[in-house]
Amino acid sequence: MPANLTPAYKAAEGHYRYAKDPAERLDALKEMLRTIPKHKGTDHLQADIKAKIKELTDELAGPKKGGARTGPETAIRREGAGQIALLGPPNSGKSALHAATTGSHAHVGPYPFTTQYPQPGMMPVHDVAIQLVDLPPIAVEHPVSWISNALHSADGCLLVVDLSMPGCVERVIALHELLAERRIELIDQWPADSGPDDESSSDVDLFTKVLPTLLVASKADRLVESGDELAVLKELAEVTYPCMAISTETGHGLDRLGTWLFDRLGVVRVYTKIPGKDADMGRPYTVRHGATVLEVATLVHKEIATDFKFARLWGTAGFDAQQVGRDHLVEDGDILEIHA
């Protein structure tokens, strides 16, 4: 981290970090470039910001320079209890998995490079849903210029590999190299794995996207000796991610995939009630492990959060209708009655 960064610059960085969409991100980047102290110590950072501005400008301008924007969106707005990207080599079964778990009509083809644009879909888990984003394959023959923008809002990814495919290991190694060039780093730690004080993943630089990764071995119906191929992949591609085998043909592993993601993302469901009425058990709000009562209030309504007085809580800890303050940590299954 270069020295002598001003409060104005730091504020701009904050705007970048919390920008909701590519347009807001671009504004924040320009603000960063305006406010960054111009000296030798910030040369690298200035270059990074300029590169990112160029990338986002191209992305927002669309495929044709100067022309009208054509083609589908490449950045998908985050929805539901978490956003999970589907990454993998060509023809590995990403779209089939997407279709089977979200009910989408993602195009499945017996040949590589079927998918060209991101496609969102919602995978139901318990009484909430996790968003899955189907993506084009990551391969040398077919660079995807907008991939880092598409992954910006993802909470994690499924690295979908077909272990029965010749060259699978080389494909996975190439994929890691391509992602590294775009400063996307896949890691084996998921939010629920780290302790309360473990902030390791937030220490990386602003322009590196760190994605918790689950290795999904697809087409399990075809794998005879999957154990061997998986061991080879782990060794040669130096893969340490948690693994799961699935099949869209037999449905093997599909239910478990949803609950696994729910648990590892640390999803916390909070139900709300109005004083004197029964709780609304139909649609929980979702936050992450470690979230406070105030964060839930913000999801319910901005004004309710601003005027927050106290809340009553029915949950696993404490007693029924316990009065709690804004900083109280919520647990999965809590019922909140917010008083503002």
Ligand X SMILES: Nc1nc2c(ncn2[C@@H]2O[C@H](COP(=O)(O)OP(=O)(O)OP(=O)(O)O)[C@@H](O)[C@H]2O)c(=O)[nH]1
Residue closer to ligand X (CB basis): 90 or 284: 90
Residue 113 interaction partner, one of ligand X, Mg ion, none, beta carbon < 5-8 Å per kind: ligand X
Q: What is the DSSP string of 15-44?
A: HHHT-SSHHHHHHHHHHHHHHS--SGGGHH
Answer whether 155's CB lies under 8 Å from 213's CB: no
Looking at residues 67 to 106 of the shown chain, list those that interact with ligand X (rule: CB under 6 A). 88, 90-96
Looking at residues 59 to 98 of the shown chain, list those that interact with Mg ion (rule: CB under 5 A). 94-95
What contacts 152, CB < 8 A, 6 or more positions away?
A: 22, 25, 75, 209
Helix (H, G, I), strand (E, B) or coil at 271: strand
Looking at residues 109 to 128 of the shown chain, list those that interact with Mg ion (rule: CB under 5 A). 114-115
Q: How many residues bind Mg ion (CB under 5 A)?
A: 4
- Specify the stretch interacting with ligand X by CB under 6 A; choose among 13-21, 207-215, 245-253, 288-296: 245-253
* N residues, the chain: 340
CA distances from 89 to 95, 143, 168, 215 (A): 12, 12, 8, 12
What contacts 115, CB < 8 A, 6 or more positions away?
A: 94, 95, 106, 107, 134, 135, 136, 137
Q: Does position 102 bind Mg ion by CB under 5 A?
A: no
User: Could you tell me which residues are beta bridge partners of residue 335?
Assistant: 271, 314
Would you give the distance in Å from CA 103 to the centre of its chain?
A: 20
Q: How many residues bind ligand X (CB under 6 A)?
A: 23
Closest by CA to 207, choosing from 180, 241, 187, is 180
Beta carbon of residue 110, minimum distance to ligand X (angstroms, whole number): 4
Question: How many other C-beta atoms are found inside a 10 Å radius of the C-beta of residue 10?
Answer: 11
H or E element: which one contains 176? helix 168-181
Looking at residues 228 to 267 of the shown chain, list those that interact with Mg ion (rule: CB under 5 A). none
Beta carbon of residue 228, minimum distance to ligand X (angstroms, whole number): 19
Beta carbon of residue 115, minimum distance to Mg ion (angstroms, whole number): 3
Residue 248 interaction partner, one of ligand X, Mg ion, none, beta carbon < 5-8 Å per kind: ligand X
Residue closer to ligand X (CB basis): 150 or 268: 150
Residue 272 interaction partner, one of ligand X, Mg ion, none, beta carbon < 5-8 Å per kind: none
Residue of the chain from 109, 124, 290, 325 that contacts ligand X (CB under 6 A)? 109
Query: What's the CA gap between 13 and 206, in Å, rounded?
Result: 8
- Specify the stretch interacting with ligand X by CB under 6 A; choose among 18-26, 53-61, 213-221, 281-289: 213-221
The tokens describing 25, both together, are 């991100």
Beta carbon of residue 222, minimum distance to Mg ion (angstroms, whole number): 18
The tokens describing 31, both together, are 């603000």
Residue of the chain from 66, 67, 72, 110 that contacts ligand X (CB under 6 A)? 110
Beta carbon of residue 60, minimum distance to Mg ion (angstroms, whole number): 25
Query: What's the CA gap between 338 and 274, in Å, rounded?
Result: 8
Q: Does position 121 bind ligand X by CB under 6 A?
A: no
Question: Using CB under 6 A as the criterion, which residues of the chain lie in contact with ligand X when the complex forms?
Answer: 88, 90-96, 108-110, 112-115, 137, 218-219, 221-222, 247-249
* Chain residues that interact with Mg ion, rule: CB under 5 A: 94-95, 114-115
